[in-house]
Amino acid sequence: MLGAASEQQNSDPPDRADVLAEIVLPDQEGNEVRLGDLWAVRPAALIWLRHYG
């Protein structure tokens, strides 16, 4: 139901963002953004929303 997990999971954030760095996502205007570029020069805070609601 609702795609919920049947068993409790643990969140598992990585120690390094190497895999995240190579991911490319479109922004709200459709421009492609490579995540690694966000912290190439200065730190970056990434916030994953549960939903857009």
Angle at 20 between CA 29 and CA 30, to 5 degrees: 10
Q: How far apart are CB 33 and another protein at their closest, in Å?
A: 6
Q: How far apart are CB 6 and another protein at their closest, in Å?
A: 7
The total of other beta-carbon atoms located within 10 Å of residue 28's CB is 5
Q: How far apart are CB 34 and another protein at their closest, in Å?
A: 11
Using alpha carbons, select from 1, 17, 3 the residue that is nearest to residue 50: 3
Binding site for another protein (CB under 8 A): 1-21, 23, 25-30, 33, 35-36, 38-53
